[in-house]
Structure 1
Amino acid sequence: GTSCFVEKRSCCLGVKPFSASQKTWPKISCAMNMSAHQSDDDRKLQLDQLIDKARKLWDRSPEPVKNFPWNTTLGNFIQLVLDLTLAVIKYLYVPVFTVTSISELSYCAHQRKLLLVPIPVLLGAAVAGILKETALKLSPRLRDAEVPWHLIAVTIFFTLIKLPGPYYPSLGRILIPHFANGVLLRTLWFAILWYRRPKALKILDSDN
């Protein structure tokens, strides 16, 4: 009788904490959901207040400030930043490309696999021509654009492929960077022709 009583008491003691934990867990999760919902509401309220303050500030601003061409100024500023970025890339890209290409050639010479270099370079040059023609077919407006964005995109993409060259496997370290070099060399040539094209057109117009 005593052992049964002890077992019943132990069972009761063991069940009560478990039931209590089951009751407290929904309360905790509910409190967490309420706090998250309240934080979202606070953020929305703060955003609405900020928008209202901005509108009031704009309404109170003088007419010269309202009539100022802010959109045009922002567009000119973005264009200036892009021009400066392109100028820096234009003057730094060729030296960096030359140094990295010499390093890659020295590695191939060290591995005695210089004879493999022309194959990926020629393949890369062919791929560059295909990419250029495909971009012009997909977007004919690029032919009249002031900046060859399609060539810039190709250059950035294959530069990102070229830079991790030392971390490629042995054969990939030889083929992949030189494939990218072929693409970049021909893309650079396309860019030179692109920027010389307006000068040639001006000469033709002046002759006529």
Structure 2
Amino acid sequence: MRVSMAQMGDPDKVKSQLGIIRERLWEAVPDSVKDFPWKKAEKKILEKLLFHGQKALKWSLIVLFIVSSLSDAIFSISRNQELIIPIGLLVGCLMTDFLRETLRELFPGSEGKVLQRHYLGLACFFVLVKFMSTYFALQARVFILNVANGGLMQVLWLWRSLVEENDKGNGENSISNQDAQLAITAED
């Protein structure tokens, strides 16, 4: 197993030495470890990590939206424009409904994943509106920020109702269904 420094200079010899070491280690591994379904375990772990990653991302974005909305409301109140808050929220909700109906007319028969993509596109649009509001004057900025908050709030509400409809259609809660499915396959 000892390799001299002269042998380490040649890349082919290093590869062959590593191959020999790998073979000897594999021979030393017990048969129970060799028979373990590693690919299946890897797949299940990746599914579980993706599921929890999606869940963490969802809640992080919701918390970010809440903090951002509170910040915008405090900004509006500090500028003595608190009456613009409900007007902006209403305009944002109405704008979301208008854009949603427009997307439904443009893409008829869209359900499931396509509808979720529409909502994702609407959410990205309103986030872009929030970022673009920095280029406007103070009064317009306050109104546009509240319009974007209203739009995002409506998108989140529609997305939530879409998930609830899908859960009713499936008969069970998708999160508990996925957890149960992962638990069953982990036992296999």
Given the two structures, how large is their TM-score scaled by the length of structure 2?
A: 0.58
Shift in CA distance, 87/153, structure 1 to aligned 2, threshold 3 Å: farther
By how many angstroms is 1:140 displaced? Answer: 2.4
1:136 aligns with 2:104: yes
Report 1:54-203 matches (<5 A).
Answer: 87=55, 89-145=57-113, 148-203=116-171
Which structure has more RCO (C-alpha within 8 Å, separation ≥ 6)?
2
By how many angstroms is 1:135 displaced? Answer: 1.1
SS in 1 for 2:83: helix
By how many angstroms is 1:108 displaced? Answer: 1.2
Count, aligned residues: 126
State which drifts further: 176-185 or 92-101.
92-101
* 1:121 and 1:182 in contact (8 A); partners too: yes
SS in 2 for 1:112: coil
By how many angstroms is 1:83 displaced? Answer: 7.6
By how many angstroms is 1:143 displaced? Answer: 1.8
Q: Give the unaligned 5+ runs of structure 1.
A: 1-81
By how many angstroms is 1:137 displaced? Answer: 1.8
Question: What do the CA deviations read for 1:41-100 (whole angstroms, capped 9, x no partner)?
Answer: xxxxxxxxxxxxxxxxxxxxxxxxxxxxxxxxxxxxxxxxx9888555422211111111
In the TM superposition, structure 1's runs of 4+ consecutive aligned residues that sit over 6 Å from their partners are 82-85
Shift in CA distance, 133/195, structure 1 to aligned 2, threshold 3 Å: same
Aligned to 2:9: none
SS in 1 for 2:153: helix
Tell me how large the CA RMSD over aligned residues is.
2.9
SS in 2 for 1:163: helix
Larger Rg: 1
Q: Give the unaligned 5+ runs of structure 2.
A: 1-49, 173-188
Structure number with the higher helix fraction is 1
Shift in CA distance, 143/85, structure 1 to aligned 2, threshold 3 Å: same
By how many angstroms is 1:168 displaced? Answer: 3.2
What letter matches 1:171 in structure 2?
A: Q
- What percent identity do the matched residue pairs reach? 24
